[in-house]
Chain A
Amino acid sequence: MKIFIIGAGQVGATIVEALHDEHELTVIDLDEERLAAISQRYDVATLEGNGASRRVLTEAGITTSDLLIACTSRDETNIVAAMISKACSARTTTVVRTTNPEYLEVWREGQLDVDFIVSSEVETAQAISKTIGVPAARQTDTFAEGQVQMVEFDVTEKADSSLIGAPLREASLPPDSRVAAIIRDDSVVIPRGGEDLRPGDRIVVIGSPAAAKQWGELIAPGTGTVRDVVVFGAGRAGIAVARLLLEQGIGVRLIEASRERARDVAAELPAARVYHATGFDADFLERERIADAQVAVFAMRDDMKNHFAAALAKVHGARFTVAIVHDTPSQEVFEYAGVDVTVNPRQITAEEIVRFAHDPRTQQVVMLEGDRFEVLDITTKRDSEYVGLAFKDMPIRGAVIGALVRNGRAVFPRSDEVLQPGDRVIVFTESSRVPVVEKAL
């Protein structure tokens, strides 16, 4: 594939590293030194110039390209670059990196002529929420910008009695969710409503974030879901994390050092409790019992501040700490300080973008049980044999559609819902059947 990459910063470099072997890359950046550093290490074409300029793009041969990745640190440059290349070359798939969630929203409503948008903040927030997630779950993952959640549970004797023994269609299950698979004694059952759950089963549930949380309470009553997360720093990253957690019904306390910023955030996220304070004030931490929170997330802009605040929170007894880290070397320092999880937004963004280079139609893949099962996020083709069929009439081929995304909104289908071309579907299937499923859809 011929791929254009606009922006040779940290994200761009990570993408180049992942793709340079298999694809023909052209990297465009304004900074000569950055380009030199990349061209020394990898066998890629580089071009010094403005990626958002039509002249530069056409001279570089945009019409012959298959994919354009715009990943500079400036949202507007990225969007303009993608729109220009779309106008010059309709066959080029465009992927844009953004740090502003509003662009993501606009794109989801179909108002931006860009094929895919990857938001660093949202990806980071999802990575963090995955580590916090549902405590009873073995594994959780989110799809469709956090609107759909996949959770894997072990059913035990402790599970709510209404769940055990009764056929699924009769059990009162959380709305907007379905059991995609029951894994029992090494065999997998795709339930159609008549099956029941037994202790010892392992189940995969696909549903809304709220439903996933309710499932957690059903599976392990009283173990407590995460109710109290403290987020330090109400920058874009902090807000994205807080918003995602609030959407999942998790209580969030936000600590922000700037008075003005704190006020804005309190107006933006009315469900969060916002404090105007720093994470470095031991009195404050003690008085507000910050260490009692189940999870502390450090999302300030400055790695060193995050480091100090995380260490202080640990001293005060914080149990589980997650830090956003911007520089790769900091990661080691944080781990040395006892921070439980570190998340690097640039790395996560790059990884997410790289996925598009593999198969642009499949947006996300999650592996379960090692690599026995996969959950795919696929956009249906116009000529798919499933399009136009109601869910109850679809042939079973060892795959189950847990949710679909239509016009940017998640839909948890009832049996009489009809699949339409262009729907994004979240499919659970055995890994061996992935090619069959991809072809059928």
Chain B
Amino acid sequence: MSAAARAHPRRRPVLAVDVVGVLNVVGTLVAYLSLAPLLPAAVALGYEESPWPFLAVTAIAGGLGLATMLATRGDHRLGIREGFLVVSLTWLVAAAIGAMPYVFSGEPQVNDLVDAYFEGMSGFSTTGGSILTDVEALPRGLAMWRQFSQWLGGIGIIVLALAVLPRLRVGGRQLLEHELPGPEIESLSTRIRDTARRIWILYVALTAALFTILVALWATGVDDEISPFHAIAHAFTTIPTAGFSTKANSIEAFAPATQWVIVLFMVLGGINFALMYRALVRRQPRTAARDEELRLYLALLVVGALLLIVEIWTEDVVSGWSAVREGVFTAVSTMTTTGYSVADYNTWPALALMTIVGLMFVGGSAGSTSGSVKVVRHVLLGKILRREIDQTMHPEVVRPVWLNRTVVDERTLRGVSSFILLYIGIFILGALVLAIDAARTGLELSTIDAVSVSASMLSNVGPAFGVGGPLGSFAPFSDFSKLVMIALMWMGRLEIIPIVVLLSRHYWRSS
């Protein structure tokens, strides 16, 4: 019998996880989150649409959240163990709240439960893949809710990546922790509330900056399309590198100047927010300049963009400045796992498609809003392999792995290797299941399409190739395939481990 069970005899003795405590936390989060639909409700009122689908969500989710909170009141032991369950459940529940307005609004494109849940998960996981076939037909309020859910998901991810996952000893962020010396950053990582507050301010500031620039472009007549509504809608989904758009042809609808501004902010969204905070707010740009992850991140963006430009230019898809713009935009959008598009790359040559799939596996920096493997893990994997090769010839050599002038401990290195293996394993499994299911339902899905859908979902990019392409929709997939994609988005968002941990018997038992 565990110590917990002895202290709380009313609980079942075999369970070592304080599930009631977890429900209490999740209930609290739901109660807070139930306020979120008030924003689209206001938008709906402004455009003379019905606010009731949103107010209903606030009432139902708020009621459920408060009821859960009250029912589970009491003394709880919330530790690392409970953290995994809280994190995993939070995203599932958030996606459900995200789905509710679609269902309640009776919008014909998303009133199926699985479709709505897909859209909700794609929102809160900042993936950006959609089952909508005609985005512009959505009521304004619902369209804004879609964008806003990604913005909320983004801030959730940063707090998760910078404050929660390090405590659970997973995620890329713990790699970066000791590399930020100085008391101010120490406390930034040790106190969740402080971290969340500072990063939140930065997040809001970046969003506001992008919104201001976009509106300025509209006001000065540079881009007539990016009206204040579209400006706020895209500010909401650019900073969290999310990718939902209120335009049917995504960013292609906007002027080149707008596209370049969005490129810049996607790049910023893919940078470690703690590092950005240091460089911008604390005025310590040198730390950022020396950061190995940031350097490789920027280098890979450049390489990816160059590859795409050369591939589309030499194959005569487009040429000149258009090729440069489309190449850079697509590379940045894919690698930062945003998922906007300025061109339908379904028509691009095979080499370009392979480059895009490759970029899906890169991701942004740890501690950013981007998904995927993340650059720091690639940095470390490279170093691990180099050491492995050295030690093959010289087994006695002791060679620590360095990151930003500090030694990375061996446990973390093992964690990186296992994460990447798990990532690849789940990606392959996902592609396989999707391909089989497509064959079963008679959906036309080529090998690279299946591969791209699995990679895109797991990396939280959004669009893929084939039917799920930049101008397409995931609606033709079967419900089962959609559930698989939802699972992939969910796992990718939470960096896999917190979810896989739940499958272990040892997680639930004290022995």
Residues of A within 8 A of B (CB): 256, 259, 262-263, 265-267, 270, 273-277, 284, 288
Q: Cβ of B394 < 8 Å from any Cβ of A?
A: yes
- Which chain B positions have C-beta within 8 A of A262? 398
Q: How far is the CA of A274 from the CA of B400 in the complex (A)?
A: 10
Nearest 5 interchain pairs by C-beta: A275-B396, A277-B396, A262-B398, A274-B398, A267-B407
- Which chain A positions have C-beta within 8 A of B400? 263, 266-267, 270
Q: Cβ of B191 < 8 Å from any Cβ of A?
A: no
The 8 Å CB contact of B396, one of A263, A265, A276, is A276
Apart from A265-B398, A266-B400, A276-B397: 10 A-B pairs, beta carbons within 8 A: A262-B398, A263-B398, A266-B398, A266-B399, A267-B400, A273-B397, A274-B397, A275-B394, A276-B398, A277-B396
- Which chain B positions have C-beta within 8 A of A270? 400, 402
- Which chain B positions have C-beta within 8 A of A288? 394, 396
Q: Shortest CB–CB separation between residue B271 and chain A, in angstroms?
A: 27
Q: How far is the CA of A266 from the CA of B396 in the complex (A)?
A: 12
The reply to whether A284 and B398 form a contact with Cβ atoms under 8 Å apart is no
The 8 Å CB contact of B397, one of A259, A265, A275, is A275
Q: How far is the CA of A262 from the CA of B396 in the complex (A)?
A: 10
Q: Shortest CB–CB separation between residue B389 and chain A, in angstroms?
A: 15
- Which chain B positions have C-beta within 8 A of A263? 398, 400
- Which chain B positions have C-beta within 8 A of A275? 394, 396-398
Q: Shortest CB–CB separation between residue B246 and chain A, in angstroms?
A: 52
Q: How far is the CA of A265 from the CA of B400 in the complex (A)?
A: 10
- Which chain A positions have C-beta within 8 A of B397? 273-276
Residues of B within 8 A of A (CB): 394, 396-400, 402, 407
29 contacts between A and B (CB under 8 A): A256-B398, A259-B398, A262-B398, A263-B398, A263-B400, A265-B398, A266-B398, A266-B399, A266-B400, A267-B400, A267-B407, A270-B400, A270-B402, A273-B397, A273-B399, A274-B397, A274-B398, A274-B399, A275-B394, A275-B396, A275-B397, A275-B398, A276-B396, A276-B397, A276-B398, A277-B396, A284-B396, A288-B394, A288-B396
Q: How far is the CA of A26 from the CA of B3 in the complex (A)?
A: 64
- Which chain B positions have C-beta within 8 A of A274? 397-399
- Which chain A positions have C-beta within 8 A of B396? 275-277, 284, 288
Q: How far is the CA of A259 from the CA of B397 in the complex (A)?
A: 11
Q: How far is the CA of A256 from the CA of B402 in the complex (A)?
A: 20
Chain B residue with minimal CB distance to A284? Answer: B396
Q: How far is the CA of A273 from the CA of B394 in the complex (A)?
A: 11
Chain B residue with minimal CB distance to A254? Answer: B398
- Which chain B positions have C-beta within 8 A of A265? 398
Chain A residue with minimal CB distance to B399? Answer: A266
Interface centre among B396, B400, B407 (most CB of A within 10 A): B396
- Which chain B positions have C-beta within 8 A of A259? 398
Q: How far is the CA of A245 from the CA of B426 in the complex (A)?
A: 50
Q: Shortest CB–CB separation between residue B395 and chain A, in angstroms?
A: 9
Chain A residue with minimal CB distance to B390? Answer: A273
Q: Shortest CB–CB separation between residue A251 and chain B, in angstroms?
A: 14
Q: How far is the CA of A263 from the CA of B397 in the complex (A)?
A: 10
Q: How far is the CA of A380 from the CA of B191 in the complex (A)?
A: 53
Q: How far is the CA of A265 from the CA of B402 in the complex (A)?
A: 14
- Which chain B positions have C-beta within 8 A of A277? 396
Q: Shortest CB–CB separation between residue A379 and chain B, in angstroms?
A: 35
Q: Shortest CB–CB separation between residue A316 and chain B, in angstroms?
A: 16
- Which chain A positions have C-beta within 8 A of B402? 270
- Which chain B positions have C-beta within 8 A of A276? 396-398
Q: How far is the CA of A277 from the CA of B396 in the complex (A)?
A: 6
